[in-house]
Amino acid sequence: MNDYFFIITVLVTLSAIFGYVNVRFLKLPNTIGLMLITIVFTLGVFALSYFDSTLLNAEKYIITQIDFKAVLLDVMLSFLLFAGALHTNFQQLKVQRWPVFVFATFGVLVSTFLVGISMFYILKLINLDIDFIYCLLFGALISPTDPIAVLGILKKAGVPKKLEVKIVGESLFNDGVGVVIFLTIFQIAALGAGEVEAFDVFSLFGKEVFGGVLLGGILGWITYRLMKSIDDYDIEVIITLAAVMGGTVIAHKLHLSAPLAMVTAGLIVGNDTVRGNAMSKITENYVDKFWELIDILLNTILFVLIGMEMLVLAFDGKYILAGLIAIPIILLCRYTSLLFPINFFKKRLDFVPKTNLIMTWGGLRGGISIALALGLTEAMQRDLFLVITYVVVVFSILVQGLTVGKLVKKVS
Question: Letter for the amino acid at 404?
Answer: V
Helices then strands, counting H and E runs in the chain, come out as: 21, 0
* Spatial contact of 404 and 167, defined as CB atoms under 8 Å apart: no
Encode pLDDT of 330-369 as tens digits. Answer: 999 999 999 999 998 887 777 888 899 999 998 999 899 9
Q: In sequence order, what DSSP letters do the residues of 104-168 get, joined into one string?
A: IIIIHHHHHHHHHHHHHHHHHHTT----HHHHHHHHHHHSS--HHHHHHHHHHHT--HHHHHHHH
Domain boundaries, the chain: 2-65, 68-411
* Spatial contact of 213 and 266, defined as CB atoms under 8 Å apart: no
Q: What percent of the chain lies above the pLDDT cut of 90?
A: 64
Q: How many CB atoms lie within 10 A of CB 354?
A: 16
pLDDT bucket at 283, cuts 50 / 70 / 90: very high
Give the containing element (helix H, strand E) for 280: none
Using alpha carbons, select from 146, 168, 171 the residue that is nearest to residue 93: 168
Q: How far apart are the C-alpha atoms of 225 and 216, rounded to whole Å?
A: 14
Rounded (5°) CA angle 39-42-48: 145
Residues in CB range of 371: below 8 A, 6 or more apart: 68, 69, 72, 73
Q: How far apart are the C-alpha atoms of 253 and 255, rounded to whole Å?
A: 6
Encode pLDDT of 219-275 as tens digits. Answer: 999 999 999 999 999 999 999 999 999 999 999 999 999 999 999 999 999 998 889
Look at residue 348 and give its three-state secondary structure: coil
CATH number of 68-411: 1.20.1530.20
pLDDT at 159 over 80: no
Q: What is the mean pLDDT of residues 43-47?
A: 93
Q: How many CB atoms lie within 10 A of CB 336?
A: 15
Encode pLDDT of 382-397 as tens digits. Answer: 999 999 999 999 999 9
Q: How far apart are the C-alpha atoms of 323 and 342, rounded to whole Å?
A: 28
Question: Letter for the amino acid at 93?
Answer: L
What was the pLDDT predicted at 144?
93
* Spatial contact of 334 and 400, defined as CB atoms under 8 Å apart: no
For the chain, what is the mean pLDDT? 91
Encode pLDDT of 85-122 as tens digits. Answer: 998 888 888 888 899 999 999 999 999 999 999 999 99
Question: Letter for the amino acid at 388?
Answer: I
